[in-house]
Structures are given as structure tokens and as C-alpha cells.
Amino acid sequence: MIIIDPPIPAAGGQRFSERFWSYNGGPMALAQQTRDSMYAVSGGTVDYQFAEIHDEPSLMTRFGGTVLTVDSMYQLFLEPGLTTLHHGRTTRSIRFLQ
């Protein structure tokens, strides 16, 4: 599992999930709940486990052809109504973890 929830230097090291979402426990708790739900729904047939967990420090997101830094994405999230993000195009830039 790759967790893409980097610390934001401009926000004192808070992660995006801490700064912009009120979900308790962050992405790891949500992933564990999803795992538990899959187990329950399958009647115990599916034993879903996280073989590896990577805490990715970057966003891997392109906007207007430029790879966004954590701080630049943070500034876009602070914009009222997320206007720039809603009118622009973001894409994922996949790279292999090393």
C-alpha cells in the first residue's frame, strides 16, 4: 500500500489529511477499516493483508505540465473554492519506489 499524505512544510509539518480532512486516524486507519470490511463481506474468505506499506513523501501530481511540490499543492488547497484546481487538469505521475 502506498500512502500519499506527505507532511506540508508550509503548514508546520501537518499532513494533508490532518490539515484538510477531519477523518480520525488518517489514511492508515481508513485502509484498515477497508481491509476489515472486505474480510467481513467475504465471510472470512478473503484474508486481506498489507504486504508492504510505503509512506510516500511526494505527491506525484502534475498540474499544467509541472510536477507540484507539496507546498504548491497546499497553496492550491488554500484557495477559496479550489478554483484553480477545479478549472485546471491534474494528472498522476507514476514512478517506481526505490
In this predicted structure, what is the pLDDT of residue 93?
53
**CA dist 6 to 2, 27, 42, Å?**
11, 11, 33
Report the number of distinct structural domains present in the chain: 1
Give a yes or no: residue 98 inside a domain. no
Give a yes or no: residue 21 inside a domain. yes
Domain of 73? 2-92
In this predicted structure, what is the pLDDT of residue 98?
42
What is the grid cell recorded at 57?
513523501
Could you report the per-residue pLDDT of 26-71, keeping only the tens digit for each? Answer: 888 889 999 999 999 999 998 888 899 999 888 878 887 788 889 9
Query: SS3 breakdown of the chain: % helix, strand, coil, rounded to 5?
Result: 40, 15, 40
Give a yes or no: residue 52 inside a domain. yes
Give a yes or no: residue 64 inside a domain. yes
Give a yes or no: residue 35 inside a domain. yes
CB 67 within 8 A of CB 90: no
Give a yes or no: residue 97 inside a domain. no
Give a yes or no: residue 59 inside a domain. yes
Whether the full predicted model's pTM is greater than 0.75, yes or no, is: no
Give a yes or no: residue 50 inside a domain. yes
